[in-house]
Structure 1
């Protein structure tokens, strides 16, 4: 997270240049960086794909996509025209070694201080591309490779990718990207914890009763049926995004903002995660699969009716997990991880629930209970930090009511808030790996989820059904109620 100097020149190469990620996310992100004056003049973008487009044809396609995904307030025709001067397109089949000679020549024509290869392709191509780049000498110390998830299907395949990429690129050259870590609100979690004396003394088992981390999606699988059915929510969301957020919540203060100082502390959290036995998987995890229901006021199909989904699929679209961390700070504090598709709304948030006061001197409300204090860190769609406290209601009685202290980032900071990929792409060019996943982190994350994958695979009962537009199977609520807790709800 420490700000490293920007190189005087760079080449950024996108494999999978005609795919959705490049055209909908990465190029719009780089446009925003250009618009904000964050790119040096001698920075070039090379987009590679199998389609036989001319440069003008490709530019027309990406401009059309960019207009859809760049907010209207940020779009400027003249700025886009200037930005497009940085762009080129070449037809390259990533599996044909001879075609990399063209790429080598392209890069030789515009030598740069740093060259970044972003692999927005299937993971089965990671090793092939890295091998072919190395054959052309495109793996020197000034070269970096960015790997987009999924980084394997299980521990063995993840280790195989690491080994193959590692034959040609050192760990300091490899950037395993998780776009959630580029969000301003995730970095604000670090600022909240380690930049203020207020919260850190309370950030431990004596004061916190439970932590809930949620990434909810209101959409279904869309056109990703072929990919998703072989992946599922545990691999797609828990093994990477949710575990990374857990690490930022639970980590010890790093000695500095140096990349390895931060990642060393995250690694310690993963090392302390209590492993699952088969019995634990049945008791502490819930998997679900959405059925037909109503989403956004419209009827929607169930998962088994989606395109390219087998009628007998047991792939989960919902996961709830009770995780535990065996160390002095967090022993006995459950971390509940929650994610799913076709839920009522789209949101991502971290909720820190504090213990109740040891003795009630104020009268309880008619419900007989009062909610203890909690801290809500909302990551999307809106970003805020909200601290819920109990305060005296106006009037003659001493009845308490919940109130909140709000920090609305959009309201407080009037400058535009960068998207996650903007920050992360700039970090790859600078050489800052703090917000990228190190190989040992990745391995421990897979080791932790693999017993869950194996137990589910051998369980003939399959995922529990839930109606689209609801908050998942009722068993997920029971996961908390057994411990005397409930899911956070802001009403």
Structure 2
């Protein structure tokens, strides 16, 4: 789509995501004059509110979750907001919503509701004339719990909206450093000739959290680490690392190449996976309970997953991708490590050679670091002393004066502008689910159950063994 929306309709406008992410992101876009002056923002939820009450609600959220220095135009932003109460399961309310929105305008719809409400919501929108040619819809995850349920959700959406008007969100794709993967690979001649099995030994992708269940008890125990983190975020990161160069920076060109990677993933054997569940321990300087204690019952849900994945194509044949994610781990970090091979022959016989590494930090710090071998300064009678040294690019330092943006700022702006490049296409989602479903089927067949690990550690010892039996150490 190329037309810009004149109205943004937020479902779940009083929810946690709206307060923490959506309203602050929209206010920031308003402050930076990145959205049109005449863009209207209409919130809807079950709570009864007037326009004024919703604006006051939004003001409280902005004051709580948005940095003060970015709230300079908050009053003007609040003037954009209006509200319409709606029970999405009741067909009657959609006519009043349509009158509030103006069905004739170009409309961007953001669904931040439970997936079980997608179908009645879309049916209501369609009957009220809010799913026409000028409308586009954005879906917040989770999009199903397996391939079958994901297909059911996608079928329900496709009944009213064609693929070119569906924007599926993975908020990781809105992060600056994730987008920088594309720039790093395809705007620099330095890396692309080396980005293949002849020069890369392996790749590590880590998404580590220090938190436990928090407010996601019921969802997480149904999902687990594999479906919560690997199926969407980590496979999107893997696809961006491994994809072939697209013909252009066009939504379908980029997503075509990601789908090829996801379809080339080799099935994972039981020996190539480790699952874990945390027990009580020390995390972030505090004593914390185990998963079963937080949950209040016994459970076989995994809070940690480590996988050894392979992309079976010419570029990556024989290069393992090690994936690791979990809760209550040693520190909060999301990063990608590209480990290059050793030089084929060293002319420095006494030097302890270390292969080059490219480390891409995504959170909490956004940076890119490359390690190189260099001579240690000083005079020596013979030979040279070498040491591995980092070349660091801290993104905030490289681009002074730029605000650190919430990922949703990018995604909401692209939704309003009709750019699907950073959104996930249906065939991507289904390829991800096929691979993950196969892993879960293997676990069920082989009777794989989570191994315990202490909160504050890096997961079960079996995860260390998964990498070390290949001569690889996790980057910590």
Common topology (TM > 0.5)? yes
The DSSP-based 3-state class of the residue aligned with 1:230 is helix
Alpha-carbon distance in structure 2 between the residues aligned to 1:68 and 1:210: 43
Q: Which residue of 2 aligns with 1:65?
A: 61
Alignment of 1:126-275 (within 5 A): 126-275=118-267
TM-score by length of 1: 0.93
Q: Which residue of 2 aligns with 1:378?
A: 361
Q: Which residue of 1 aligns with 2:305?
A: 319
Q: Which runs of 5+ in 1 are unaligned?
A: none
Alpha-carbon distance in structure 1 between the residues aligned to 2:16 and 2:32: 24
Q: Which residue of 2 aligns with 1:108?
A: 102
Q: Which residue of 2 aligns with 1:396?
A: 379
Contact 2:267–2:439 at 8 Å: present in 1 too?
A: no
The DSSP-based 3-state class of the residue aligned with 1:455 is helix
Among 347, 356, 367, the residue aligned to 1:361: 347
Alpha-carbon distance in structure 1 between the residues aligned to 2:173 and 2:318: 27
Q: Which residue of 2 aligns with 1:440?
A: 427
CA gap of 1:208–1:118, structure 2 versus 1, over 3 A, is same
Contact 2:203–2:336 at 8 Å: present in 1 too?
A: yes
Alpha-carbon distance in structure 2 between the residues aligned to 1:458 and 1:71: 50
Superposition deviation, residue 145 in structure 1: 0.8
CA gap of 1:231–1:272, structure 2 versus 1, over 3 A, is same
Q: Which runs of 5+ in 2 are unaligned?
A: none
Superposition deviation, residue 458 in structure 1: 5.0
Alpha-carbon distance in structure 2 between the residues aligned to 1:241 and 1:449: 13
Q: Which residue of 2 aligns with 1:302?
A: 290
**Post-superposition CA distance 1:305-341 (Å, at most 9, x none):** 11xx252211111111111011000000000111111
User: Which 10-residue stretch deviates more, 354-363 or 465-474?
Assistant: 354-363
TM-score by length of 2: 0.96
**Post-superposition CA distance 1:362-404 (Å, at most 9, x none):** 2556xxx543110011111111111011111122341211111
Contact 1:363–1:399 at 8 Å: present in 2 too?
A: no
Alpha-carbon distance in structure 1 between the residues aligned to 2:299 and 2:447: 11
Alpha-carbon distance in structure 1 between the residues aligned to 2:123 and 2:170: 23
User: Which 10-residue stretch deviates more, 457-466 or 145-154?
Assistant: 457-466
- Taking only aligned residues, the RMSD between alpha carbons, in angstroms, comes to 1.5
Superposition deviation, residue 116 in structure 1: 1.0
Does residue 54 of structure 1 match 2:50?
yes
CA gap of 1:343–1:364, structure 2 versus 1, over 3 A, is farther
Alpha-carbon distance in structure 1 between the residues aligned to 2:353 and 2:116: 53
